[in-house]
Amino acid sequence: MRHATWIALEASPVWRKMYGAYRKLPAAARSPIRWVTMPRWHAATTLIQVASGKKVVAGPFRGMRLELSPVSRRLLVSYILGSTELELREVIERILQKQYATILNVGAADGYYAIGMAYRSPRSRVVAFEALAALHRVIKRAALLNGVADRIRISGRCDLSDLRRELQTAHQPTLVLMDIEGGESQLLDPSSCPELGNADILVETHDSFVPGCTDRLISRFGPTHKIERFVARQRVVSDYPRSFMGFLPRFFPRMTVDLMDERRAGVQQWLYLTPKPNAGNPQEKIR
């Protein structure tokens, strides 16, 4: 289903009610309904998973084996295609070159970044914070499949005390990688967490959930960090990995673009924050 179509359906009280009834059905009953109502979509996503061997086929984590949640398998094959957050490809490569000793992934979800960072950065130890306990086994399974389980620790929700404790005990250099649906507005505050002054931070901001969040973080970290800002753009056919199932963009260009859609609302942005070399010790300044 096209993302625009899904948004339109969500706006309809009738369709929302029907979808609510559908969600109450057992999983075994929902699967055939999806195939009947969206046969081409499910055929394409299934074929992509089979043809890829459930490995990422492009981007910085190419070759990584994925263990996706059921929702991601159906809707976010962009993980497999390597087109997820392709706006960040260049900065991710720079991050990987730094070989961080510690990476705190706050909001790990299916483990795409937690596993990917450990997969590409063999010197790094990763702490994967994820509030949804059901996703912990997904991350654990992916870590085992990629041979990085010994360098990944999985934890639950990350609050301010958790973040401060991890930063205080982390081996340097440290990266904070955060995607928590607006919660970054509370956690990423050097006045309450001065340890952030010594860390590099890559954060997905959510102005659609917390208005003004991006500018607020820029204001907070401007005195101590160099700030790079990235803005999401629409996917186009040329974003599709050329060497993988080339018949899709050739014969089904519209579906190809839809398959790379990340189901986002509003304008998505990211900030990459790195401490300024001459900023001094921000912890001392805050005290």
249: preceding bond cis by omega (within 30 degrees):
no
Estimate the share of the chain in helix, then strand, then coil, as percent rounded to the nearest 5: 50, 15, 35
Q: Is the residue at 35 inside a domain?
A: no
15-37 as b/e: b if 16+ CB within 10 A = eeeeeeeeeeeeeeeeeeeeeee
Position 70 scores a pLDDT of 81
* Local structure of 130: helix, strand or coil: coil
CATH of the domain at 171: 3.40.50.150
Position 74 scores a pLDDT of 72
* Domain that residue 182 falls in: 41-286
Comparing C-alpha atoms, which of 163, 146, 50, 144 is closest to residue 104? 163
With a CB cutoff of 8 Å and minimum separation 6, the contacts of 10 are 16
| Cα dihedral value 146, 152, 157, 160, nearest 10 | -140
Q: Is the residue at 228 inside a domain?
A: yes
Q: Is the residue at 68 inside a domain?
A: yes
Q: Is the residue at 19 inside a domain?
A: no
Position 169 scores a pLDDT of 96
Q: Is the residue at 75 inside a domain?
A: yes
116 and 122 in contact (C-beta within 8 Å)?
no
Position 239 scores a pLDDT of 96
DSSP for residue 197: G
Comparing C-alpha atoms, which of 195, 175, 225, 200 is closest to residue 286? 195
Cα-trace Rg, the chain: 20
With a CB cutoff of 8 Å and minimum separation 6, the contacts of 111 are 67, 128, 130, 135, 138, 139, 142, 143
Q: Is the residue at 239 inside a domain?
A: yes
Report, as ranges of residue numbers, the positions in the chain whose pLDDT lies below 50: 282-287
User: Rounded CA gap, 231 and 184, in Å?
Assistant: 17
Strand partners, 175: 103, 200
Position 286 scores a pLDDT of 38
With a CB cutoff of 8 Å and minimum separation 6, the contacts of 222 are none
Q: Is the four-CA dihedral 121, 127, 128, 134 of positive or negative sign?
A: positive
Q: Is the residue at 109 inside a domain?
A: yes
Q: Is the residue at 172 inside a domain?
A: yes
Comparing C-alpha atoms, which of 219, 216, 239, 214 is closest to residue 229? 214
Total domains present in the chain: 1
Give the Cβ contact number of residue 75 at 10 Å.
Answer: 19
57 and 71 in contact (C-beta within 8 Å)?
no
What's the number of CA atoms in the CB half-sphere (13 Å) around residue 203? Answer: 29
- This model's pTM is above 0.95: no
Position 266 scores a pLDDT of 74
